[in-house]
Amino acid sequence: KGVVLIPKSVKEEHILNNLQVLEIELDEQSIRAIDESITPVKIDEDGQPSIYEDDEEWKRIVGSVDDREQGEVQEKDESEDQQRTEVVEPVDMELETIFVGSDDGRMYALDGETGQLKWKFTTEEDLGSSAAFSPDGSVVYFGTEDGHVNALRAIDGQVMWRYNTGGAVTCSPTVDPDGTVYVGTLDNQMYAFTPDGKVKWSRDLGGEIWTHPAVGHDGRLVYVGVMVDTNINAFALDSQTGTPAWSFKAGGKIWSSPVLSQDGKYVYFSCQDSHIYTLLADSGSLVRKFDIGEDHEGMDSSPVISREGTLFVGTNGGSVLAVDIRRGRLRWEKMLEGEIMSSPALDNEGYLYIGGVGQLYKLKQTDGSVVWTVPLGEDVWSSPRLDKHGRVFIGSISGPVFCVDRETGKVVWSYETEGPVIAAPLITADHQ
């Protein structure tokens, strides 16, 4: 009682803003004394704040952003970039089109009903990043392992802008309603781009960022995990500045994407230490740590949550789990085979779809029983995507993109790329 906690910042304007919000008036000497004498804190695995002893590490994370605008979109040779796209037929955005990348270095636009090629865009390296739309669906964003974040016009694949981050981009972008594009890199950087390709902010998070971040329901915070296990590895970043609102240290590396509860109150991280962490979305406080068992060898699959609150996730040990995440109880486990890298997709009829070793599986959400399987060649790391016409789309390490009838499990069409397809397909918005 009588003690006010003021969020630490290395930015003078942040300190002053914090004081204004709290209606506290301090002179410059007092502000300087607060900033110099109060040690920053982090949230530990047990959910309790503790002294952050490595102040240099804190300054690297908190102080890595210049809050001033970071500059214009990078200059590019427009003629060279436009030559990257081969157009067979422009996309009619009212019809169903599938956008999917392949490790042959190409992004493909395919007719959803027939699988026929509309256009393809070529880069120098693998393309395992899943694409995302701008809010109006006119632009497709994705990353490439040559270090670029790419923005293409959806109708014909022409380059709107490209930004070279300097690090491979396997992370899939997340786009918020105002058009800001959030994407991470394998050289530890988290970026926010304006719709026209300017860097809004960037942040060094101290570990590789493999999969897409999540944006809070009110748009204030961006959640992301990183591939380190010796330091903090789960973050909530201010969407406007990139400043960490909170951070958390899970017991293992985080390869998968975070997911929010239906009400936005909780954020869940599935981790390589074989635990699912439930954190308060606004503070990062630990609510529950659900142990799936070391024999499952951790999780790289990103979880999904049903309307009823059941969390579904694949494990590196080859099983699919259904967890009552609010109570921390296992509902069921279905053993498949091999490592499950694919993330589940749920329909509204009570079924779950997920890729495994050479198979696409359809399971019942109630008990995990298998309805059908479809052979897809080699391992399936791609995650399935469902349209509203009863079809499921997925890629295979063997190279094809498949369209499968959800009722019968029969392959409707397949399109052969020249490399493994790890990315999840993106479906035009009116057909999702």
Cβ 92 vs Cβ 114: under 8 Å: no
pLDDT at 226: 97
Show the low-confidence residues of the chain (pLDDT under 50): 1-23, 39-41, 50-53, 65-72, 75
Q: Phi/psi at 78 (nearest 5 deg)?
A: -60, -40
Bridge partner list, 102: 106
Q: Which candidate, 180, 177, 206, places its Cα nearest to that of 195?
A: 180
pLDDT at 27: 56
Match 């530990």 to its residue by tokens.
44
pLDDT at 251: 94
Digit-coded pLDDT (tens) for 208-252: 999 899 999 999 999 999 999 989 999 999 999 999 999 999 999
CA angle 49, 51, 274 (to 5 degrees): 55
Residue 289 tokens, joined: 């740590």
pLDDT at 81: 79
Average pLDDT, the chain: 88
pLDDT at 36: 55
Cβ 354 vs Cβ 342: under 8 Å: yes
Question: Which strand (E) or helix (H) includes residue 57?
Answer: helix 55-62
Cβ 172 vs Cβ 129: under 8 Å: yes
User: Letter for the amino acid at 33?
Assistant: A
Instruction: Read off the pTM.
Output: 0.84
Cβ 168 vs Cβ 184: under 8 Å: no
Digit-coded pLDDT (tens) for 82-109: 789 999 999 999 999 999 999 999 999 9
Reported residue count of the chain is: 432
Do the bridges between strand 49-51 and strand 41-43 make them parallel or antiparallel, or are there none, so unpaired? antiparallel
Residue 287 has, within 13 A of its CA and on its CB side, a CA count of 19
CA 69 to chain centre: 25
pLDDT at 23: 47
Distance CA 404, CA 423 (A): 17
User: Letter for the amino acid at 95?
Assistant: L
Q: Which candidate, 150, 137, 143, places its Cα nearest to that of 76?
A: 150
Q: Which candidate, 282, 290, 325, places its Cα nearest to that of 306?
A: 325
Buried-state track 391-422, b at ≥16 Cβ within 10 A, e below 16: bbbbbbbbbbbbbbebeeeeebbbbebebbbb
Helix (H, G, I), strand (E, B) or coil at 335: strand
Distance CA 53, CA 39 (A): 8
Burial of 13 (0-12, 13-18, 19+ CB in 10 A): exposed
Cβ 387 vs Cβ 411: under 8 Å: no
